Amino acid sequence: MASVTSSLTVEPVAGALGAVVKGVDLAAGVDDAQFADIEEAFLAHQVLFFRDQDLTLDAYLAFARRFGPPADYPFAKGLASHREITEIIKEPHQTSIFGGIWHTDTSYLPEPPRATLLYAVETPSAGGDTLFANLYRAYETLSEGMANMLSGLRVVNMSALNGIALRFHHLGTGSMEAKKPGGEILSADHPAIRAHPLTGRKALYVNPAHSAHFAGMSNEESRPILDFLFGHAIRPEFTCRFRWRSGSLAVWDNRCTLHCAINDYDGHRRVMRRVTIQGDIPV
């Protein structure tokens, strides 16, 4: 059911997570009362979608900054004029994409971003949707035994785990530009179960793109448990799906969601602009 604030309408898109926000022109600027409503919806729904927004680079960055200071993305260069904004581009000749595996953004950093914003500049006529999954639900539906076991474990996350060769192949064959050499590996360990710093809710915090093994355990010992958790976290009833069109903006809570870009639009160009927001150390 849609909820209405003083100036906004928030309409859920699925039972698990996600909502479309209507009644706001982000290019005109967001006042404190409007942003308070947006932030409340953000914490409640975990990912928000805004349609038909005509955002200049300055307007986009101004809205992103309402969520916090922008974070640096370590592997692809930002725009020359707005380095906090990274363009995620797939050219018609490319068959690879960025983000084509379930993940939380840069969980291999000591302080992963709290939020990510993605704005659609150019989209194919069909395809290129993004899937999102609710990691609160993933935790809350674990058995008591599994939840108790995971509560004492930490997970080693690595930038070089899955898809690193594909990432740098994509950077080397299109119009995106790499920032770091392909051999550099970033790594950080985080709790398998993290508590959201604002809602207090617990979320499963593993992802198949970057979670390599449990700290103090081998890959072989960790793999059966991680494989179960990866599959459990993306059960259909925990997910929503968003179809992009030019002028669409999504902002998701990186502390309690997974997302995955669908690569089903070979031969077409897609241009997205991403900003990540500085986070904190998961606990």
Give the chain's residues under pLDDT 70: 1-6, 162-169, 180-183
Q: Examine the residue annotation and report whether 52 is marked as an active-site residue of this protein.
A: no
Q: Which helix (H) or strand (E) holds 60?
A: helix 57-65
What are the residues whose beta carbons fall under 8 Å from the beta carbon of 63, sequence distance 6 or more? Answer: 26, 30, 55, 117
Closest to 42 (Cα-Cα) out of 179, 198, 192? 198
Please compute, for residue 244, the number of CA atoms within 13 A of its CA located in the half-sphere on the CB side.
Answer: 24
| Count of structural domains within the chain | 1
User: What pLDDT, on a 0 to 100 scale, did the predictor assign at position 180?
Assistant: 66
User: 40 lies in which domain range?
Assistant: 3-277
User: What pLDDT, on a 0 to 100 scale, did the predictor assign at position 183?
Assistant: 62
Task: For residue 282, tell me if it sits in a domain.
Answer: no
User: What pLDDT, on a 0 to 100 scale, did the predictor assign at position 176?
Assistant: 86
Task: For residue 221, tell me if it sits in a domain.
Answer: yes
pTM: 0.94
SS3 224: helix
User: What pLDDT, on a 0 to 100 scale, did the predictor assign at position 178?
Assistant: 84
Task: For residue 17, tell me if it sits in a domain.
Answer: yes
User: What pLDDT, on a 0 to 100 scale, did the predictor assign at position 172?
Assistant: 73
User: What pLDDT, on a 0 to 100 scale, did the predictor assign at position 177?
Assistant: 83
Q: Examine the residue annotation and report whether 274 is marked as an active-site residue of this protein.
A: yes
Of these residues, 105, 114, 154, 255, which one is catalytic? 105
Task: For residue 220, tell me if it sits in a domain.
Answer: yes
Task: For residue 223, tell me if it sits in a domain.
Answer: yes
User: What pLDDT, on a 0 to 100 scale, did the predictor assign at position 170?
Assistant: 80
CATH of the domain at 179: 3.60.130.10
Task: For residue 154, tell me if it sits in a domain.
Answer: yes
CA 159 and chain centroid, separation: 15
Of these residues, 45, 103, 154, 273, which one is catalytic? 103
Task: For residue 102, tell me if it sits in a domain.
Answer: yes
User: What pLDDT, on a 0 to 100 scale, did the predictor assign at position 276?
Assistant: 98
Q: Examine the residue annotation and report whether 103 is marked as an active-site residue of this protein.
A: yes
Task: For residue 176, tell me if it sits in a domain.
Answer: yes
